[in-house]
Amino acid sequence: MNNAVSYAMDSQVIFQMFFSIVCIAVAIGVSILVLRFMRKFIDFLLEQAGIK
């Protein structure tokens, strides 16, 4: 019984660590995409302002 409980706890901890790592990776990827989009958008706005 104790072995099963400790195994369940270990797997839960491993899953939580894996989940947090995935969340961090997704957040980094999204922030990189947002920064790229913002840079393109700002360049576009500057071009529009330069034309006008």
DSSP character string of 1-52: -HHHHHHHHHHHHHHHHHHHHHHHHHHHHHHHHHHHHHHHHHHHHHHHHHH-
Structure confidence at residue 1 (pLDDT): 55
User: Model-level pTM?
Assistant: 0.58
Residue carrying structure tokens 């706005």: 45
Q: How far apart are CA 19 and CA 50, in angstroms?
A: 46
Domain count for the chain, please give it: 1
User: For 23-47, what is each residue's pLDDT tens digit?
Assistant: 999 999 999 999 999 999 999 999 9
In terms of residue numbers, what domain contains 28? Answer: 1-51
